[in-house]
Amino acid sequence: MASIATRIAYGDALKELLQEDENIVVLDADLAGSTKSAEAKKVDPARHFDMGIAEGNMMSVAAGLAASGKIAFASTFAMFATGRGFEQIRNSIGYPHLNVKVCASHAGISVGEDGASHQCIEDINLMRGIPGMTVVVPCDYNEAKQAVRAIAYHEGPCYVRLGRSGVEEVTPEGYQFELGKGVVLKEGTKVALVATGSMVQESLKACELLDFEPTVVNIHTIKPIDRELIVELANSHDLIVTCEEHSIIGGLGSAVAEVMAEAGCPCKLARVGVQDVFGESGKPKELFETYGLDPQSIANVVKNNL
């Protein structure tokens, strides 16, 4: 099975978008080769601005370009985009609701060897807290490419979370990405594994370790979240297990918990994710095992909570 990083899809989508629409501009902060925003340069170097290692400035410059009618894509690693650039995203981009698309790569602990300083596990939390911000976490190349194209023309600020490491293709052939709509990948009973990003693959693998068929759902849009689907899942299952390569605080698990609690769903919830700790250096696979994100850990959480 093909294994491609979602950031590759970002570069490929940008290339197409720049060819199709002269209104699109791209900014990066000295990581264009890594985020794949450099692909845009191949189409039109004049519309790719390398702003140097100055993420806060990059976000506000992107806002200025958007205020001039451009659709501005701004990229760097998730840690520096949403961490260093948080207040600029909030005040320069979010408050005036400008067309800036923050597409950040190297999110989560699968960054690997760089260690905790570069493993952003707070970005979904930070971005979904900004009023009017759309937050998308695609799971594979196919979905990421479609998501980037979709948010380009979705009015207002958007955040797209992309990964460094290769991930298997899991979206079915002919898959059509629809912003805000969760995707049921497997229909089962008792337990619904509700996953986002790279954890969709891990959840699918976890099914093979269980002696029953759980439901598996891909929630690619964290905000606005698919309330209807979550309530439906909660009303038809005994347990929902959220799976995310993010802190269990403020991410998908929190978003699902909010929906379930407000809807008065009687279903139990367990959250697979980074358990309020920093990561460390290591290979992505080792890190997933160490921090409880691998299929076996998901299967264990299911068994312990049923």
Partner 1 sequence: MKNIELEKHANSIRKSIVTEVFYAQSGHPGGSLGAADIITSLYFEELDINDENLDSVDRDRFVLSKGHASPALYAAFAEKGWIEKEELKTFRHLGSRLQGHPSMRLLPGVDMSTGSLGQGISCAVGMALANKLDKNDHRIYTLCGDGECQEGQVWEAIMAAAHHKLDNLCIIIDNNNLQIDGKVEDVMSIYPLDEKMKAFNCHVIEIDGHDFDQIRAAFKEARETKGQPTVIIAKTVKGKGVSFMENQAGWHGVAPNEEQYHAAIKELEAC
Q: Which of these is catalytic: 55, 143, 202, 244?
A: 55
Query: What are the two backbone dihedrals, phi and then psi, of residue 286, each rounded to the nearest 5 degrees?
Result: -60, -40
Report if residue 116 touches partner 1, rule: CB under 8 A: no
Report if residue 87 touches partner 1, rule: CB under 8 A: yes
| Rama region for 104: left / alpha / beta (φ>0; ψ in -120 to 50; rest) | beta
Report if residue 19 touches partner 1, rule: CB under 8 A: no
Nearest to 140 by CA among 200, 195, 184: 200
Nearer to partner 1, 93 or 207 (CB): 93
How many residues lie near partner 1 (CB under 8 A)? 29
Nearer to partner 1, 38 or 63 (CB): 63
Report if residue 224 touches partner 1, rule: CB under 8 A: no
Angle of CA points 190, 194, 197, to nearest 5°: 155
Report if residue 69 touches partner 1, rule: CB under 8 A: yes
For the bound state, the minimum distance from the C-beta of residue 69 to partner 1, rounded and expressed in Å, comes to 6
Is-contact 183 200, C-beta < 8 A?
Answer: no
From the list 46-54, 102-110, 205-213, 274-282, the region that binds partner 1 by CB under 8 A is 46-54
For the bound state, the minimum distance from the C-beta of residue 64 to partner 1, rounded and expressed in Å, comes to 2
If you search the block for the tokens 């807290």, which residue do you land on? Answer: 129
Report if residue 35 touches partner 1, rule: CB under 8 A: no
Q: Is 122 a catalytic residue?
A: no
| Rama region for 210: left / alpha / beta (φ>0; ψ in -120 to 50; rest) | beta
From the list 43-51, 103-111, 196-204, 280-288, the region that binds partner 1 by CB under 8 A is 43-51
Report if residue 68 touches partner 1, rule: CB under 8 A: yes
Report if residue 45 touches partner 1, rule: CB under 8 A: no
For the bound state, the minimum distance from the C-beta of residue 158 to partner 1, rounded and expressed in Å, comes to 17
If you search the block for the tokens 């347990």, which residue do you land on? Answer: 239
If you search the block for the tokens 């002269």, which residue do you land on? Answer: 22
**Given 13, 14, 31, 51, the residue binding partner 1 (CB under 8 A):** 51
Report if residue 60 touches partner 1, rule: CB under 8 A: yes
**Given 3, 21, 45, 64, the residue binding partner 1 (CB under 8 A):** 64
**Given 43, 67, 179, 249, the residue binding partner 1 (CB under 8 A):** 67
From the list 51-59, 108-116, 184-192, 258-266, the region that binds partner 1 by CB under 8 A is 51-59
From the list 64-72, 111-119, 155-163, 249-257, the region that binds partner 1 by CB under 8 A is 64-72
Which residues are near partner 1 by CB under 8 A? 25, 46-47, 49, 51-52, 54, 56-57, 59-70, 72, 87-88, 91-92, 95-97
User: Among all residues, which ones are annotated catalytic?
Assistant: 55
